[in-house]
Structure 1
Amino acid sequence: MAEAQALADREPTEKEIRLVIGASSAGTIFEWYDFFIYGTLAYILKDAFYDVDNDTLGLLLVWSTFAVGFAFRPIGAILFGFLGDRLGRKYTFLVTVTLMGIATAGVGFIPTVETIGIAAPIIVILLRVLQGLALGGEYGGAAIYVAEHAPPEKRGFYTSFIQASVAGGFVLSIIVVLACRFLIPEDDFVSWGWRVPFLLSILLLVISLWMRLMLSESPVFQAMKEAGETSGNPFVESFTYPGNPKRIFVALFGVTGILTTIWYTAFFSGMSFLRGPMHVADLTVELILLISGLIAMSFYLVIGKWSDRVGRKKPIIIGALATLVLLFPAFWGLGSLANPGLAQAAEETPITISGPECVTDPFADLFDREQTDCGKVLETLTASGVSYTLTESDTLSLNAGGEAIAIDPAWFDSGAARTEGIQGALGEYGYDFSKQQPDTANIIGIIAILLMLGMLSALTYGSVAALLSEMFPPRIRYSSMSIPYHIGAGYLGGFLPLIAGVIVASTGDIYSGLWYTWGVVAFGVLVAWWGLPDGPPRDFADDVAS
């Protein structure tokens, strides 16, 4: 028993701490790179793996497959949380990083839908399942490993490197895509070059394994194992341990629900918004996100260190409340800066459409349902970033500034013909659908808005690894923090691009998808205010009855 206590109390050296943070953070960057590269290349993968004529449906199918990975994160959290609490932190996340690397590299080997038909998206989905399982075990392992090595007074700062590494994975995915763009001609990149970022995962896997094999087991786990205090069934005990059901509820809705929806809105929704309805050039979008992401990574470290002084609750509440106030204005600002001509044309020449059964069905082509002509026009307007007013009528009509636009029957031959026809007709009224290259001042403004969104993410995310580690008892910590984290991140956050996309496609309002984020954050604020402890950080052992 004395030996076990000595293991738990031993202070790691500065060299050991640097190795722990470096190896854990690098592995997290690589693993999240593997996960995010799919989302970063979504605009290409929709054509590589899905044979649909409808661009909106193609993108929704890509986001659906993206969401599949998130759907399996809770299962991975249960599986690897069990192993982490029973067998140890180190070896569990060695397994997760290996599984992730193999699954991601596999996407780079899949033939396109033109070659093997429906087998292509099926294989992609299976690999996304493996990625989701792996990621379900990665975050909890890395966060706990660092937290259990860190001195209590620096736990927020040290674990904030894990949070910054999540953003780092996104940044790395953009760096690799940009490098491929510069080295591979555009047509070749779309044809085959997109596979290179996926295949690079093999190299990243080797580096991750080499770094993590140098690590020793967490001193807290070593002490529990030495004392024979490891849990017999961490999954069951996570829901039966006194006070844990409340803590899991708070961790799910009051912590993860807030952080994950803000994170994906700031980074993924921002990327999709600029690249899609705002028509900003792909290279420009990637450079903007690269600069914003690199700078924003430092925010997580600042907030993590701040939380060591003021507690974990205050930054989360401040960030969540600020998000409720600033979310819509931020995206309105992005729209006006990214494509001012489109915003000006919408104000000067508003679009009105009327007709019978004027509703959109984003999945009509997928399920062989016939969509009305009016619904098809609405879908094209939304995908083009054009806002409109809908009125009831027995006949289909399209008006720009009160002037009728002739509807060509050829528009309904295909999605491409409809997009070309409608955009061409609206171009006569000042609507510019060409690839946009905002001027320098506007780009600076866009980066500033994205940095503000990045700060909101950092406030709600920077201290979370320390907070979740402190909320749960060591014997079931891996399972107890991983389950709510990955249910929240997997469903509330992972399905955000898909849910927001369906809301936008159904309403025709390119900003309406933000209401999903707003609603989740608003509920989360109430839960966090009620359930998170006030005051300076406290380890679980100091307040077992919390």
Structure 2
Amino acid sequence: MSLNHSTADLAVAESEPSGHVATSPRAKLYRVVLAGSLGTCFEAYDLFLVGTLAAVIGRQFFSGVSPTAALIFTLLGFAAGYLVRPVGAVFFGLIGDRLGRKRVFLVTVALMGLATFAIGLLPTYAQVGFLAPAAFVALRLVQGFALGGEAGGAMIYVAEHVPESRRAFYTSWVQIAPVTGLLLSQLIVQATRSAFGQAVFLDWAWRIPFLLSLVLLALSLWVRTRMGESPEFERLRNEEEISRAPLKEALTGRRNIAAMVCSMFALGPGAAVAFYCAFFYTPFFLTEVLRLDQDTTSLLTIGALVVSMPIFIVFGALSDRFDRKSVICAGFILVVVGYPAIYKGLTHFANPALEQASRSSPVVVIADPEECSTQFNMLGTSKFHTSCDIAKSALVRAGVSYTNEPGRLGAPAIVRVGEHVIASYDAGAPDASAKGKTFTASLTTALDAAGYPRKADPAQVNATMVFVLLVALGALAGMTYGPLAAAMTDLFHARVRFTALSLSYHIGFGWTGGFLPAAAFAIVAANGDMYAGLAYPRAAALIGAIFVVAFMLATRTGRLNHDT
């Protein structure tokens, strides 16, 4: 497809539903972008509420396990929706490629809004036990199924209306919609917490942001019902070129397979880690590892979100001006080389006392390796009751980094804090309760003596520099995610675009990003190094850069190397 401004404007005009008052092609173009962006923004709000309220949800639905396990399970609940995204992508992709893009829009936004509203009505673990987390995960699956058709559909709907020469600029507005939805969730959660107070918020007012999704659903449906069909799909229908088997077609042929590989293993994962590190993993890193208070973290994150959003548009426009490959690949490389310095900078400016204590009095866990689990247990079958696991869990809760040394076979784990040595205990021992109190008291005393802060000292927090580093992370997200919709749309023929783009996007971007917070936190919990979790995003970005170099041409459209 090759559109200039006039043909794009005509396409928009032809897509306008009958019965509407005529408006200028430019105004209709803006309305198309608004329809794609607004609905995606509200769906992102619904989706990201779980991430924003992860700590609260852990207490409400996973209170039957340890705090560390509860946080990991909550993050896995956040990730659960990502598992079914490819299923939703295929289901709604087939509808979008065979029956039309608009039909999918209406169904996906309705499913997402109703599932989010239902989360606000769920009973807690204290009320119904295991049924609470089961229902929560089930609704997350519904959300993920709906989003399987939404994300790719919004990208395609806008891309098929706008001039190809400015495709990345216009679709980058769709790309900032998830950021806007995240910002909206942060603002509403913060406003609700301020209005009701922390105690009431933790008790029941946390439900209000979920219940408000019903209002957003009504607005989304009103906007989308007023839009027409994609002009590209209308052309396919008029010329009788609609694919009868879009999934089969997308997975066969050299060009289609290469496009799927590039989208699934390069563009999607690389952009995912930059996006999710900037806006999800980093807030957890600040609060759970660096012990920065929640209010300060929220304010800094909200500010960084606001400043970062225009950067998405800038890099989208730059990829139109130069080429997709150079912009996106540069972002991937900067993630690989820049993340260690950025996160060490966050430690230096958010909690310098923790940084100093880690250097002067390093903590070492000496234990039989056979007693040490990974702290990553999706099925919830491990009890984490060995002396090694108890020691590591205590250090993770304290936000203290540690290294591991192998101990004697069968011997209880030992924690060494500088010159202090504290023996851990097995939770199955007859006197476990008394030993537990002694261990906790001794460890706390040793950490205090070594200068490890229980929380970040507000007087020592350099909020300005933390904010600058958060914006830097947001800029890397914008550099990789801003041009992503245009880059992916360019790869696929309109006949199979909905199915192919959605499936590859939700496997590559959805799975890689969805599991990042849980996997990175679990890596830190098992390894002990607060920066160990960065191995996940850096590896994904490196692989993405290699595949982009191998498969994409340095053209404005970012087509495949063997395209003619």
The TM-score normalised by the length of structure 1 is 0.93
Q: 1:454 aligns with which of 462, 470, 474?
A: 474
| TM-aligned CA distance change 1:253 to 1:370, over 3 Å | closer
Q: Offset of 1:361 from its aligned partner?
A: 4.5
- Does residue 19 in structure 1 map to residue 31 in structure 2? yes
Alignment of 1:167-178 (within 5 A): 167-178=179-190
Amino acid at match of 2:540: V
Provide structure 1 residue ranges, at least 5 long, that are not aligned to the other structure: 1-5
Q: 2:403 aligns with which of 382, 389, 410?
A: 389
Alignment of 1:490-501 (within 5 A): 490-501=510-521
Distance in 2 separating the partners of 1:155 and 1:51: 47
Check conservation: 2:8, 2:163, Cα contact below 8 A: no
- Does residue 403 in structure 1 map to residue 423 in structure 2? no
Q: Offset of 1:368 from its aligned partner?
A: 5.1
- Does residue 465 in structure 1 map to residue 485 in structure 2? yes
Larger displacement relative to structure 2 (111-120 or 419-428): 419-428
- Equivalent residue, structure 2, for 1:359: 372
Q: 1:510 aligns with which of 520, 526, 530?
A: 530
- Describe the superposition over 1:313-365 as per-residue Cα deviations: whole angstroms up to 9, x where unpaired: 11111101111110111111111211111111121222233344462442679
Q: Offset of 1:545 from its aligned partner?
A: 4.1
Q: Offset of 1:374 from its aligned partner?
A: 2.8
Alignment of 1:130-279 (within 5 A): 130-279=142-291
Query: Identity of aligned pairs, percent?
Result: 35
Q: Offset of 1:429 from its aligned partner?
A: 2.5
Check conservation: 2:374, 2:523, Cα contact below 8 A: no
- Does residue 434 in structure 1 map to residue 455 in structure 2? yes
- Describe the superposition over 1:78-120 as per-residue Cα deviations: whole angstroms up to 9, x where unpaired: 0111111111111211111110000111100000011111111
What secondary structure does 1:492 align onto? helix
Distance in 2 separating the partners of 1:155 and 1:470: 9
- Equivalent residue, structure 2, for 1:3: none
| TM-aligned CA distance change 1:362 to 1:300, over 3 Å | same
Amino acid at match of 2:69: L
| TM-aligned CA distance change 1:110 to 1:518, over 3 Å | same
What secondary structure does 1:229 align onto? coil
Check conservation: 2:98, 2:243, Cα contact below 8 A: yes
Amino acid at match of 1:428: A
Q: Offset of 1:422 from its aligned partner?
A: 3.0
| TM-aligned CA distance change 1:181 to 1:151, over 3 Å | same
- Does residue 52 in structure 1 map to residue 52 in structure 2? no
What secondary structure does 1:228 align onto? coil
- Does residue 346 in structure 1 map to residue 346 in structure 2? no
Distance in 2 separating the partners of 1:408 and 1:117: 29
Distance in 1 separating the partners of 2:434 and 2:210: 32
- Equivalent residue, structure 1, for 2:107: 95
- Does residue 481 in structure 1 map to residue 501 in structure 2? yes
- Does residue 422 in structure 1 map to residue 465 in structure 2? no
Q: 1:524 aligns with which of 534, 540, 544?
A: 544
Check conservation: 1:284, 1:437, Cα contact below 8 A: no
- Describe the superposition over 1:34-88 as per-residue Cα deviations: whole angstroms up to 9, x where unpaired: 1110011000101100133411100111111111100111111101111111111
Distance in 2 separating the partners of 1:460 and 1:413: 51
Check conservation: 1:324, 1:518, Cα contact below 8 A: yes
| TM-aligned CA distance change 1:359 to 1:368, over 3 Å | closer
Check conservation: 2:98, 2:244, Cα contact below 8 A: yes
Amino acid at match of 2:211: L
Check conservation: 1:93, 1:141, Cα contact below 8 A: yes
Amino acid at match of 1:237: E
Check conservation: 1:8, 1:223, Cα contact below 8 A: no
Larger displacement relative to structure 2 (415-424 or 75-84): 415-424
Aligned residues, how many? 538
- Equivalent residue, structure 1, for 2:15: none
Distance in 2 separating the partners of 1:235 and 1:414: 61
Amino acid at match of 1:141: G
- Describe the superposition over 1:436-488 as per-residue Cα deviations: whole angstroms up to 9, x where unpaired: 43656x11111111111111111111111111111111111111111110111
Check conservation: 2:167, 2:320, Cα contact below 8 A: yes
Check conservation: 2:328, 2:479, Cα contact below 8 A: yes
Check conservation: 2:76, 2:518, Cα contact below 8 A: yes
Distance in 2 separating the partners of 1:350 and 1:538: 48
Amino acid at match of 2:293: A
Larger displacement relative to structure 2 (393-402 or 229-238): 393-402
The TM-score normalised by the length of structure 2 is 0.90
What secondary structure does 2:289 align onto? coil
Q: Offset of 1:9 from its aligned partner?
A: 8.3
Distance in 1 separating the partners of 2:345 and 2:266: 28
What secondary structure does 1:470 align onto? helix
Distance in 2 separating the partners of 1:101 and 1:45: 18
Amino acid at match of 2:10: R
- Describe the superposition over 1:409-456 as per-residue Cα deviations: whole angstroms up to 9, x where unpaired: 99953999666763354123221113643656x111111111111111
Distance in 1 separating the partners of 2:421 and 2:131: 46
Q: 1:69 aligns with which of 76, 81, 102?
A: 81
- Equivalent residue, structure 2, for 1:10: 10
